[in-house]
Structure 1
Amino acid sequence: MNANALSINARGQARRAARSKTMDVGARAGFVARGVIYLLVGLLALRIAFSDGGGKQADRGGAIAEIAEKPFGSVLLWALGVALAGMALWRLSEALFGQAGPDGHKASKRAMAAGRFLFYAFVSYSVLSYAAGAQSSGSGSSDQQTDDVTARALQWTGGQWIVGIAGAGVICAGLWMAYRAVTRRYHKHLKMGEMTKKVRQAVDVTGVFGGTVRGAVFATAGGFAVAAAVQHEPGRAKGMDDTLRSFTETPAGPWLLVLIALGLAAFGLFSWANARYRKI
């Protein structure tokens, strides 16, 4: 067998693996894990809205720390990290071989899948590292990390432009998330025909509300990054925890954060619906 035939055979095996039952299970487990994180972040945000949150962070690190404190927390973290690795591998398969659906092979969609692979691979690594004992890895403050990264970037040549463009990118991503939620573009990725009427209604409530709130949080965080770039002040950039706390400083006070917290929890439930009905 020549090298070309071996290459074709290897690609065929990789494609079959990407469409295998194992990949399907891994992707769905990843949606479950994502749902757990968003539900916990929403609950932590509710605590902050009604008090100071007891020193908890309303971000991924806070969610990981919350799980670690529970009975069998370490086991749960290992399961969460492995599930997120399954999500990362599924996104990698989409980047390499295309997504489900008629337009799944577009270059733009494969590029987005590659970005999502990198994100979930990092999150999975963080969770697994924390479970293995590196407690500074998974549960570090998103606010401090954001400050550190922004401060370093602003010291580079053209750093203000880099931070500003990155912030604008996050704003655009957040607005796109909200747009997709409001227009229910997620329908094409779900097996809507398998849902009962009540399930479809629940999916739309959590998908539209949760997705819109998630997009608003991202867009707000991006706005803070742009402000940090314009004013050359790293402290202006905020991680998720500080971004959520900033909603209490609006005229609506803590009640806006309550709404945001419920939206994030709703997105967690929507993620669980994806675990059941997503086209993999």
Structure 2
Amino acid sequence: MNTRTLSVPWRARARGAANSSAVGIAARWGLAARGVLYVLVGLIALRIAFGDSGGQADRGGALAVLSAQPLGSVLLWALGVGLVGMAVWRLSEALFGAAGEGGHKTRKRLASAARCVFYAFVAYSVLTFAAGESGSGSGDQQSKDVTARALDLTGGRWLVGLAGAGIVVAGVWIAGRAALRKYHKHLKLGAMSRKERRFTDVTGVVGGVARGVVFVVVGVFVTRAALTYEPNEAKGLDDALRSFAEMPTGPWLLALVAAGLAFFGLFSFAMARWRRV
């Protein structure tokens, strides 16, 4: 029996594993975990908008809030495991293709691979925090440190500038797709009631646009760091959100964006329920 004959059943078994209910559960758990993080970040940012300067409106701040709750350690571990599930789901998409039309295109599989790496990093930081280590740290300081190291490299200003521009483009893409409701193609629309569709559309559009706007702002600050050769110009999520309060509109723009991020968290819960995986 040749190796080609042997490889076919193995590939079939691997694809079957990728499409199994276990991967589906991992995906839904991961989407719900993402929702928890965004809801908490949005609520912290809302508190900042209304005068409470305490707490970080980023992943570290969200984890601190969770850890202070009853059974906080259990919640943190559950969140970390959910994000591992998110990474596993994206890995299966990268290897075997995503559900739906065009899911096997190289471009989409590469995007899934990038998401896998991102969520693996986020899961690691959450599990490190749950284990009692201070691995999450301040997102703002991490952004400055990474930018400083990048600027010291040969051609570092170009690297940082391209990274900032890429983040801006990603933000515009995220907001645009949300506004056009591109997520519909991933949903089991036929199984949803009218109220469920309306809830998903309101949270998906408002939340996705707010998320895209935040990406754009973060990218602008990274680009500014490259142009000025000053790593302190780079800002993490917390500083980027606080910058909204410094605009002429005052805290109201921050409150609007913060509410949008919380909406994106609710949208993630809807996706955990209704997305085809």
Amino acid at match of 1:102: E
Structure-2 separation of matches of 1:32 and 1:186: 16
Say which is worse superposed, 1-10 or 38-47, in terms of deviation. Answer: 1-10
Paired residue for 1:81? 80
Gapped regions of structure 1 (runs ≥ 5): none
Shift of 1:194: 1.1
Q: Report the secondary structure of 2:132's partner residue.
A: coil
Structure-2 separation of matches of 1:51 and 1:260: 16
Paired residue for 1:32? 32
Asked if 1:174 is matched to 2:171, the reply is yes
Paired residue for 1:60? 59
Amino acid at match of 2:101: P
| Mapped contact 1:129–1:137 kept (Cα < 8 A) | yes
Say which is worse superposed, 18-27 or 44-53, in terms of deviation. Answer: 44-53
Q: How does 1:112-131 map to 2 (within 5 A)?
A: 112-131=111-130
Describe the shift of the 1:192–1:228 C-alpha distance in structure 2 as closer, same or farther (beyond 3 A).
same
Q: Report the secondary structure of 1:249's partner residue.
A: coil
Paired residue for 1:196? 193
Aligned residues: 277
Asked if 1:143 is matched to 2:144, the reply is no
Q: Deviations over 1:93-134 (max 9, x none)?
A: 111111111211111111100000001111111111111121
Identity of counterpart residues, as a percentage?
61
TM-score, with normalisation over the residues of structure 1?
A: 0.97
Amino acid at match of 2:104: H
Paired residue for 1:185? 182
Asked if 1:255 is matched to 2:229, the reply is no
Structure-2 separation of matches of 1:6 and 1:45: 55
Asked if 1:102 is matched to 2:109, the reply is no
Shift of 1:2: 4.0
TM-score, with normalisation over the residues of structure 2?
A: 0.98
Say which is worse superposed, 70-79 or 3-12, in terms of deviation. Answer: 3-12
Say which is worse superposed, 62-71 or 160-169, in terms of deviation. Answer: 62-71
Paired residue for 2:10? 10
Shift of 1:192: 1.1
Asked if 1:240 is matched to 2:223, the reply is no
- Pairwise CA RMSD of aligned residues? 1.0
Paired residue for 2:221? 224
Structure-1 separation of matches of 2:175 and 2:244: 18
Shift of 1:233: 0.6
Structure-1 separation of matches of 2:176 and 2:258: 19
Structure-1 separation of matches of 2:147 and 2:154: 13
